Amino acid sequence: MAWKIIFILLLLFSITLTLIRPTTAKVNPLFLSSTCDYSKGNYTKNSPYYSNLLHTFANLSSLSAFNTFSNFTSGSGEDATNKIYALYDCRLDLTLQTCQDCVKDAGIELLQSCPSKEAIAIYAECMLRYANRPIVAMMELTPPQIICGVGVTMADEGVLNRTIKPIFKGLIEEATSENSSRYFATGEGSYFEYQKVYCLVQCTPDISRDQCKMCLIKCLELYA
């Protein structure tokens, strides 16, 4: 049986759009990408910004043991240059233990690879983001992050696209409907015999329903 895996994630942290094979087995968090925004400045180790970042990641790691989404602000007073705004979001179909493992790994990854004052780490299981400006309850469509890993022929890819687009359109409507208590929906479909795709859409819960729908639609357009 052939399984195809695709990852499509649209940055900044309003949405995750993914095709994945579900699993209940314990696995290590799967790192996909990180983006370091040096246009907002950088920091050095042992600086106040670095200390605030360590404090922020420690608190987010603790929060992720109980919540799939949380935000945290570190630093106060007049020194706005060292203030940090951060948030994480985990997939709602995974356990809190998986969420915490992912948030911990994401914090380590960003500390090692991004000495910038704004950055984001994308994993298959979660997203972790920080900045020295407010980012909570804000929808941002740029810069986009698209990670695709598909081993299909051009002909098969056309069939795959025609299969998943209707699935995603339905999931977007489901996740953003007035009856939905959270911006999340999953589905699956088949293309050719014995070949399945599993689809998932999710927005961070700090944005509005309309913003979530807009973001998911934009993500699907980027993939299409």
For 79-120, the pLDDT digits (tens) are 788 999 999 999 999 999 999 999 999 999 999 999 999 999
* Domain 6-23+144-223: CATH class, spelled out: alpha beta
b/e map 84-106, b = 16+ CB within 10 Å: bbbbbbbbbebeeebbbbbbbbb
What is the pLDDT, as a whole number, of residue 130?
96
Cα gap 122→139, rounded to integer Å: 17
E strand or H helix that includes residue 168: helix 154-175
Q: Look at 2-11, 28-37, 88-97, 198-207 and tell me which has the smallest mean pLDDT.
A: 2-11
Same fold, 6-23+144-223 and 31-131: yes
Please state, as a whole number, how many other Cβ atoms lie within 10 Å of the Cβ of residue 19.
24
**Structure confidence by residue, pLDDT tens digits, 133-178:** 999 998 887 767 777 665 655 556 677 778 888 999 999 999 999 9
Across all residues in the chain, what is the average pLDDT?
84
**Which tokens in the block code for residue 7?**
């990852």
Say if strands 69-74 and 31-36 run parallel, antiparallel, or are unpaired: unpaired
pLDDT exceeds cutoff 50 at 74: yes
Secondary structure element (H or E) that encloses residue 212, with its range:
helix 209-223
Domain ranges in the chain are: 6-23+144-223, 31-131
SS (H, E, C) 61-119: HHHCCCCCEEEEEECCCCCHHHCEEEEEEECCCCCHHHHHHHHHHHHHHHHHHCCECCE
What is the pTM (predicted TM-score) of this model? Answer: 0.85
Q: Contact 95/114 with Cβ under 8 angstroms?
A: no
Q: Given this model, what pLDDT does residue 59 score?
A: 98
Superfamily of domain 31-131 in the CATH hierarchy: Gnk2 domain, C-X8-C-X2-C motif (3.30.430.20)
